[in-house]
Structure 1
Amino acid sequence: MASQHSRCYSILSGPSSRTRPSGVTINNSLLETKSSQKCKLSQKRKTLPFPVSISGYLSPWPTYTTSQNILQNAKPCSDRHQKRTSSWQQEPFGIAKPRYLEQLENYLRKELLLVELSKDSAQELKLQPYREIFEFFIEDFKTYKPLLSSITHQRERIRALEPLKAKLVTVNEDCNERILAMRAEERYEISILKKEKMNLLKLIDKKNEEKISLQSEVSKLKKNLAEEYLHYLSERDARKILVADLNELRYQREDMSLAQSPGIWGEDPVKLTLALKMARQDLTQTQMELNTMKANFGDVVPRRDFEMQEKINRDLQEQLDSLRADYEEVRKEHELLLQLHMNTLKERDQFFSELQEIQRTSTPRPDWTKCEDVVAGGPERWQILAEGKNSDQLVDVLLEEIGEGLLREKDFFPGLGYGESIPPFLRFEGLVENKKPTKKDVVNLLKDAWKERLTEEQKERFSDFFFNFLEHRFGPSDAMAWAYTIFENIKLFHSSDIMSQFYAVLMGKRSESVYVNQKEIVAQLLKEMINADSQNEGMITMEQFSIILKSTFPFKKEEKILELMEAGGWHPNSNTTDLLTYRALFLEDEEGRNEPFVQRLWEQYVEEKDEYLQELKQELGIEFYSEVTLPRLRGALMSIDPSLDKQTLNTYISQAFQCPVSELPEEGDGKEDSMVVQLRVALERLQVIDIRRKGPREQEPAS
């Protein structure tokens, strides 16, 4: 046991080697006093060996006494401490404390006195003497050293696991965002397939109608041909009857002329008999020839009629061949459409079964009226928040309301640490104060940040600019607290356009040029409307509104223009001469929400960007996870958008390959084929910047 005391004395002799926390300063005189006292203590320990107890074992003190107390966390210089010291000194020698405990208490008392005398006595510095005493116990009492060391080891492990817990939360949030993005992409593809299905069904109906009309036309032509055939047969029979009647009339006229001629009676009867006989022979021969001609050419038509009928027959044959070809083409298309229809039916049955399974396993539709009594503001405010929103949007609104209440209850935010995945403006360890601003304050602060960003030269990163802006506005001491407060607010409130866009730019999910260009387009629209308002009354007609939209967005489809007009207040039944208060279209409320016109304009921009990238993917014709070379990507961009200038094209390519424009190889250079990137990565990178169509898909021919 004496050896244990000697080891304790040796450890107590060198406490000056312990390191103090960074940022804490002590006067040189105090440090010198402390070091001299430690040296004296170490010398005293060496020169004054003593037993731990009378029996040679560990003393059971303070079991045998009730008047002694262990040193408390009291100030060493206080009166209470002095009273305890005096009372302890007055205790009889038989129940005195162990000498080792006295030495430790004296050392602790002196250390605390030195800390109290320093000007900057931090709480962490006050704990340092207790840490040293604890380390002395660990080193001297070998029997209990594993148990005491495990306590320290577990505390260090708990501290080491705190950044891992924060990282796990961040990874969980990223995975949730990816899942939501994949679900949105699946919903978008399903909507496209449904539209294609409806178009094909319309095409099938149209082809069926054309087939029915062609069949009716063929039946009508057959009927007309039969009528013409019967007409020509009746004409032929009538002609034969008419020729026979004409011959009979001619014979009768000749007989009458012979009977009435006065010179006949003077002729010779023999001669007349002979002439009659010859005439009868000629008549018989002529009758035979006539019968032969009738037998041979009774069904023959005139050449003119034959040629006319032959021409008609040839035209009908050509029409029949054309109809047969069309019918064969329609039949093949019908078979393809029928096969596609069968596949669509299978998909429909599959989707229907999946729908039934989802309906069976999913929860019932929520009753949103239950939220009226929970949301601050009562039923009136909930009706305003829920107006025109679907269930998914209502969930976002409810989450914002719940999150806003939780933010109000928090007084501090835990620091995220100094990891590489943490944004630079959030790198901090410890607790950060929650400034608890209102939505209006946050929106005004973000607007001021955008104004300052647009007026300065954009040389530094947006995240660095944001933190510098907070330091300039609130000072270096409160900048980190405001950074955490603003970050938590803009991450929560997705319904506010300015908050959601600022969060996307701050986290690198969207380029700040997207926000700047969108603001420029809105400003240009307002300028055009002001120019159209010649009387400066703040009103324009719906016709002027339509003309301004078409001139500002020449590549938008007609239905897109009508959507913007409806968002601005136009109705299909309204007149084009109706007046519109155009300045009200560009207003914002105090929480940063835009009017429906500006919101629809932003939604159309996002939809057009997705369509543009989808066209690029279809033009490349490769799998989503395949690699694409630089020349192939350049060719696909020029194919879907021939109006792209070289500078814009190089900007898109440099973003896709994450390469500066100045380092891009020239066209035709052999280094182009060596630059490859995965199609999925390229599309995600292009989604960040402001990418839009510069002209029509196909160049119009010059007039």
Structure 2
Amino acid sequence: MASGPSTITTGDHTVLVLDGGFSSQLSCHVGTTADGDPLWSARFLQTHPEEVVNTHLDFLRAGADIIMTNTYQASIDGFVKYLGITPEEGYALIQRAVELAKRARDTYMEECQNNVEKSPLIAGSVGPYGAHLHDGSEYDGSYADKIAPKTLREWHTPRIKALIEAGVDLLAFETIPCQKEAEVLVDMLNDYPQINAWLSFSCKDDKSLAHGENFQEVAKKCWDSDPNRLVAVGVNCCSPLIVAKLFKGINDNRKHAAIPLITYPNSGEKYNPQLGWIDRDKCVALESFVHEWLDLGVRYVGGCCRTYGADISCIRTQKVFGLSVRKKQNDDKIKNLLRQNEDLREENLKLTLEISKLKKDMGKLKDDKFSDYLTLMRERDARYTLYFENLGLQLKLKELDGSSYPVDDAYGDPVVLRIALDRCREQLSTTQIDLKKMTEEYADTVPRREYDILTAKNYDCTKQVEALNAELQAIQDTHKRVLTLKKGLEEELMETRERCRELERAGTPRPQWELCADFIGGGRDRWWQLASGLSSRDMLRVLLKELGPAAESEQLEHFDGFGTDPVIPPYLRHEGKVRNLRLSRREVSVIINDIWLGKMEHGQDMSMQDYVTNYFEDRYQQPSVRAEWAYNLCAGAEQMLDEPQVKLFWGVLHGHLSERIYWSHRAQWQNLKDLLYKHSKDGETITAEEFEKIAKVTFPLKSEVDIKNLMDVVRKQLKLKIASNEINLDKLFLENEEGFDRVEFARELYRQRQLAQDKYIREVVNELGGKHGANKTVTVENVKRAFAIVDPAIDHIRMERYIRWAFSDQTSELKSICPLPLRTVAARLAAGDIERVGPRYRGTHRRNIYK
């Protein structure tokens, strides 16, 4: 069921896509336009109801979230006047428009198999009073100067009531040219509390309504009068070039209570009364305006006159992907700013290091100068000391001698010089002792200059380590962001592919494929299961393929019997004409599966030819009927040899392939199925990680690539999204009447099994001589040795079975079996159930025990 009006809110930022010009799209179905008709497209509600439904479907398939009923110019008075019907019939015809829209929505939901988040909504179209006058006054609103509000209310009431009773989700008051009629319509919502509506005006320029009032003033007044019942206010049926100018500034003073806006303008073409619509080539595509409109607060966007389903599809694309493009642009700007900020930080760090280095150099210079200063001071003090000691000695000598000669003359006296020399030697000895003591005491001390150099070097290394750590952290953060971006891109890619499939289906009007369901076995459900998500060309191929031999041998009415010769298989022994039943591919598959199931229960020890003979004899007593089904089965199987399961059955039936191939394939399928159900958490679902783990245990010889291919097929068959991690086992192992091997997962298992068997046999043949020894004769011992080398884990029972199959001898002793050419042995091995037991080189694979 469609969502009710309560789902239409104005507090979120959801953008909904409307439909396009109904009359324009409808003309593609009916082959004529409604231009100039006093009822416009409403006339086709009575004359072409199916085309009305198909027009709604065109817009839904193009991606419309809301479709409008074909009632824009519908009125009871108009129907009575121009269709010659009663008022009651006119009232019912308006309600019929809603029913046709609902039919289209139901058909669309069946096509999508309800794989949509929300059901599309249906809006009841309510056009202006002037539209039914058919005098052009709807384009300038001149009728508003002559009509009283009461008259407008009385005229609108019947069709609004009819639309609501028919079950529309909301009302669309559209193409309103004047303030008076807009206020009447908004006030009428109080009479119908269960319904919401939007209000859309018709404007003559980028400021004024068609009647001349200021658009923004009227829009604000109408919104403020009933903001709880109106979902949006905007414009339609105007040029797309003036929409942005009309909307700019309307919500400048309404940051916390902004008015949701709606717009669905014309294509931009101009209407000429003599020439019709012109200037199509000068129009700018509607989707090019979508980004600007969304930035201005538009929450509902679509098209009006001269817009088609393709235009709505383009608008839908802009709505879906436009946000991602702009988000990426903003992310690029932020990345550039962050990169510039990081460069500035690095430059600041370099400058800081340089300043520190300069400060160190200044400190070293100060220390060197202070050291020189101390040295000079000590030297000065030492000279002063020597000078005063020398002076003291001279005074003592003078006192001893009692002489009065000048002190300086004593320097020539040997005694004085001797005393001074002794005194200097004593001081020198004391100084040398102190120097030696200091040398011993400070021998292990690092010189100041070297210490400063090492300290500076340590500081530089520390800064380099810090810079490298910061760079490492930045790289790790970038790596995380890249992983997150990669995951987002994968999800976006999946959504894009789904969207492309949807757009491919909605690109052009499609044939009525639902009619094909009457000719397909299984009816409508099976047809939509086969045709879902396919283009028209692919659906045609599926139809031809499903019809099978009946489509390819249409000219054959009978088959000629092969006679009763003993060389003819028993089930085909018949003389005379056999009627062609024209079995479909599905019917052939069902019969083949029924034969396998019956043989599994009753006749595994019987050959396939004998069992098929008994199968038809048990079901059909009359020989002619028995022959009909047998001949038609063989004819159908010959036409379906492109199907792996049919090719296997055909080969077993004619003795070309071993029947054990089917039973081994079925046993693998059942073994995997039992293990998965055993370890499922609720008896129905299992996680993808657990599935992969169990698959590796079940098939220990499969490569990682094979396991990944199996997982991809599972996701494809169940249509799982990237983020989905739950696998529904009931859906995965669903077995219909055509057999378990019809599903994609079973086909992939069979394909991998055949590839592994081919590789295994090639290795055995290479050990026996390879291609160059094709004509070489090989014995049983040669084959034994080859199997033992290629598959060391093989047991004697399995090896004997393989050898007997290869030499086509099930009874003789192995030693007495005659040699055969290598080409013959290789062909027999390829047609048998030959499967590797273990790896060729022991230790290359390790079996995991899953508990």
TM-score, normalisation: structure 2: 0.34
TM-score, normalisation: structure 1: 0.40
Relative to total residues, which structure has the larger helix share, 1 or 2? 1
Of structures 1 and 2, the one with the larger relative CO (CA 8 A, separation 6+) is 2
Relative to total residues, which structure has the larger strand share, 1 or 2? 2
